Structure 1
Amino acid sequence: MSKKNLAIFTILIAIILDQVIKIYVKTHFVLGEEVVIFDWFRIHFTENNGMAMGFEFGGKGGKLFLTLFRLVAVTALVYWLSQNIKRKVHNAVIVAISLIFSGAVGNIIDSVFYGVIFNHPKHSVATLFPETTNGKLFFGKVVDMFYFPLWKGTLPEWIPFIGGEFYTFFQYIFNPADAFITVGVVILFLFNKQAFPKEEKVIEE
């Protein structure tokens, strides 16, 4: 498989998987509903207006800025990906950039379109492509569902600032797009020499 086809294949699979999971959760779960798969792994439907892992970002103005910033960022990622394909870098780098791009696009789709392609009932599941909706373009909410509370307990008193407090690790709820971005960044870290090659200096005699 050529590097270009590898990138296209990775992007298509990642975006489709991300959107299928999000749409399924949004149209089958009530907001706040949780299904326990294992004690340490749960599907918990939540939505956020802001950044990855449920962080918020400055209300409606901040959300619009974040969406526009993501659009600029994915443009830069497309350029970076195309340059690396031309350079014929290691396939892992191509996959990594493709995953980061896919994750960004996945969350952009939520932010841009979910406000208008779903209705937003408070105590029932959403409907895809309803006859009417009160949402707005660019103001959709990002759907999150993966929750891994690996450990819950009271922290030892000797830990600075948070000692003695009840703590959950890992407490953040995220989605496939967030996972793709994280995996992509980890791969880039592991293959940093191929992703960010140092230019050899020519010593003039």
Structure 2
Amino acid sequence: MSAQVVAGELQLELYKIDLSQVISKYIGETEKNLHEIFQEAQLSNAVLFFDETDALFGKRSEVKDSHDKYANIETAYLLQKMEEYQGITVLATNLLNNIDEAFLRRINYVIKFPFPDSEYRERIWRSMFPPAAPVSEEVDFTYLAQRFEIAGGNIKNVVLSSAFLAAESGEEIRMKHIISSIRHELQKSGKIVARSEWEDYE
């Protein structure tokens, strides 16, 4: 979302790099793919966005076999292309410590997004439901924000899931749909939700 805001403010195209299409098991293919990406971006002056960037910008390792050697070559090549590229590149990761220090030296700004507190969680909850969504008046955004400490990405999943549940039952989006979706979202990450967490809206 932040990358979209940057591109929007600058009135530039945003190219999200699909790592599955970039990284190849064949020697030299990854470099070829990276060359094409940066070449196209240079022509269009686009904002490049690398998500889960630690997979591509990871730390170089000690060379113990040919795999390490070629992995380090890919990293070095990427460093070179980053140096040459005149446009804006946005990198996103949850694992900053896994990024090679050589990349960090070339990054002008490191912006950390802290886990949202209850005030921000409430704002996220309210903003996730579009105005046209049939949300019941019983939905208590303050309760949701204070009771459930989940991040924005999880809230987005919950909102979408609760909308499907409500549509399936032919109802407005109610607290029971949201609570059920929260339980499912937390269970996906292995968290157990105590009955006291949701019994108010059982």
- TM bucket normalised to smaller: under 0.3
Whichever of the two has the greater Rg, that structure is 2
Larger helix fraction of residues = 2
